[in-house]
Amino acid sequence: MSLRLAVLAFASIFVLQPVAAETYSSEQNDFRLVELADDLERPWGMAFLPDGGMLITEQAGQLRLYRDGRLSDPIPGIPEAEERGQGGLLDVAVDPDYAETGWIYLSLSGQGEGGLGTQVWRGRLEDGRWTDSEILFDMKDKTRAGRHFGSRFAFDSESRLYFSIGDRGAMDRAQDPADEAGRIHRIERDGTVPSDNPYLGDAGTPPTAYTRGNRNAQGMARHPDTGVIWIHEHGPRGGDEVNVIRAGANYGWPEVTHGIDYSGAVISERESGPGVEDPVHVWVPSIAPSGMAFYSGAAFPEWQGDLFVGALRSRLLVRLELDGEQVIGEERLLEDEVGRIRDVRVGPDGFVYLLTDSNDGRLLRLEPAS
């Protein structure tokens, strides 16, 4: 069976009809909010297949397929994720050449010597099962901590795979030259290291590392016009950041920050410094951002080029208006309407899709009001 037919055949099991939609007003586009599914177990990431299907990860370790109003049973055979704290099965991405390769990428917290660490896997769907599974990246210095796995994915214009790893709850790891934590990493789609990665040749430095000084990035997206990768990352108590990713850049954590420790203690007196890349936007107090997407569809023409960010703590959807790499406006949507928003994506249909973070998490869609 071909990959395409296998995916189509698998989307077969439970029918979930959208419920009645509610209409909301925004500064530029009124929209309807449509519920597509409502029984996902702490959904974390989603990715669109070229045949119209959508893959959804659940933090507890399941991968589901949603298509034409149908939500599958968990797909068997996927790599085992250890759910602990913020860990589990996390992001999912579809290969830019999926029609030819069939590759699907997963990030997760995996077991190994010393405890847990962020892992990147790839595999294919064949006859409703995960097959051809192989690990592309396995974090070396694992710990028992259940925090800051990072794990968002993005592909650049050359189809190289970027992924984030947080500081694993030990802030000094983000500035340790030999550590893999607190960074954005870049690999080829087969797991090899690109020949122009910025730290290649630096003795003791992880060759996959692309940046350092990142606390915990849970949003990542490629700008549709410039092709540049953007991220957002959780601050401590205050100081969530939106950053533009540059090869070899240091984003400062914990030597510079706009936030304080959860105890109220000062982490750093500095909000900026020499040799540190400044954020393009900061939230104080924290919104706890998760998931992000640039809008480039046709359904909402007034949102073209805007950046959408989900929020966990603040339970809302943020729309940022941009002028180049500057944020010139912010609108807060759906505040306290749908709960904790874990992921945000723009579909091929131009609609905006959301995942809510709860034991009965929902898949929601923003459509034009008329």
Active-site residue numbers? 148
Q: Which of 350, 364, 348, 287 is nearest to 318 (CA)?
A: 287
Going by the DSSP 8-state scheme, the letter that residue 264 receives in this structure is S
d(CA 310, CA 65): 22
33 within 8 A of 43, measured Cβ to Cβ: no
Q: How far is CA 10 from CA 4, 14, 42, 43, 72, in A?
A: 10, 11, 22, 20, 7
Kind and range of the H or E element at 8? Answer: helix 3-10
Give the tokens for residue 103: 């590759």
Q: How far is CA 362 from CA 93, 219, 318, in A?
A: 19, 19, 18
Kind and range of the H or E element at 58? Answer: strand 54-58
Cα radius of gyration (the chain): 19
Q: C-alpha angle 67/14/132, rounded to 5°? A: 60
Q: Which of 219, 343, 242, 300 is nearest to 26 (CA)?
A: 300
88: left (phi over 0), alpha (psi -120 to 50) or beta: left
d(CA 176, CA 269): 20
Going by the DSSP 8-state scheme, the letter that residue 99 receives in this structure is H
